[in-house]
Amino acid sequence: KAGVTQTPRYLIKTRGQQVTLSCSPISGHRSVSWYQQTPGQGLQFLFEYFSETQRNKGNFPGRFSGRQFSNSRSEMNVSTLELGDSALYLCASSLTGTSAETQYFGPGTRLLVL
Amino acid sequence: AQSVTQLDSQVPVFEEAPVELRCNYSSSVSVYLFWYVQYPNQGLQLLLKYLSGSTLVESINGFEAEFNKSQTSFHLRKPSVHISDTAEYFCAVERAGSYQLTFGKGTKLSVIP
């Protein structure tokens, strides 16, 4: 069974640009979560989607948005990039997102904002 | 709100020696507890989790963690580490129904040959 895939793996952008990251969950998984990982703040929850609905959102500005498609693939978008948005963005998938299930993480997309 | 404190940012240990990675959490409601491991340039992998029942949980590669409600701790232990255990370890909590993991800052375990 293929794991969680994230594209692209690496990205370099400049301040003010916008970026879209993609996450394909494990086949059959309908819950997708996104996390931002930085050396200073560690791992922080961005949002979680299930069946195209956002069920929870972390404490991030409105520049960070996401969506989920009917095939459970998810995208996140960051508009008006800032230097502080440089991070590893991880997505995770599970069957329905409940705590009893294991969340499977992808390798991440490393974003560098110059 | 929940919070997680990993008391050590870095832990060096000799190969075949025992290790304990400490994790304390704070929450006003019941939470589920997790340990994840991140190898260099990879995503996170679940090591073990505590949902309910026996307070001692084990992983397939020799790690174990004990849930201590009175001390709000979930320390990770291994009696004998291997070089391959070198990685960063994250403790996390989840409030039931929140669909959100709250992570600690991580502990980098370095196993010295």
Answer yes or no: do B96 and A106 touch at CB < 8 A: no
Answer yes or no: do B32 and A42 touch at CB < 8 A: no
Mean residue pLDDT across chain B: 93
In tens, the pLDDT along B35-47 reads 999 998 888 999 9
pLDDT at residue A88 is higher than 80: yes
pLDDT at residue A1 is higher than 80: no
In chain B, residues with a C-beta closer than 8 Å to the C-beta of A45 are: 100-102
Specify whether the CB–CB gap between A109 and A8 falls below 8 A: yes
- Whole-angstrom CA distances from B89 to A48, A66, B1, B36, B51 are 23, 28, 22, 6, 19
Nearest to A78 by CA among A16, A7, A8: A16
Pairing outcome for strands B10-14 and B87-95: unpaired
Answer yes or no: do A50 and B100 touch at CB < 8 A: no
A26 has a chain B CB within 8 A of its CB: no
State the nearest Cα–Cα gap between B87 and chain A, in angstroms.
15
Give the pLDDT of residue B40.
86
Query: Cα–Cα distance between B98 and A68 in angstroms, integer?
Result: 18
Cis peptide bond upstream of A8, omega within 30: yes
Answer yes or no: do B101 and A103 touch at CB < 8 A: yes
State the nearest Cα–Cα gap between A39 and chain B, in angstroms.
9
- Percent of chain B scored above 70 by pLDDT? 100
In tens, the pLDDT along A36-77 reads 999 989 999 999 999 999 999 999 999 999 999 999 999 999
In tens, the pLDDT along B72-95 reads 999 999 999 999 999 999 999 998
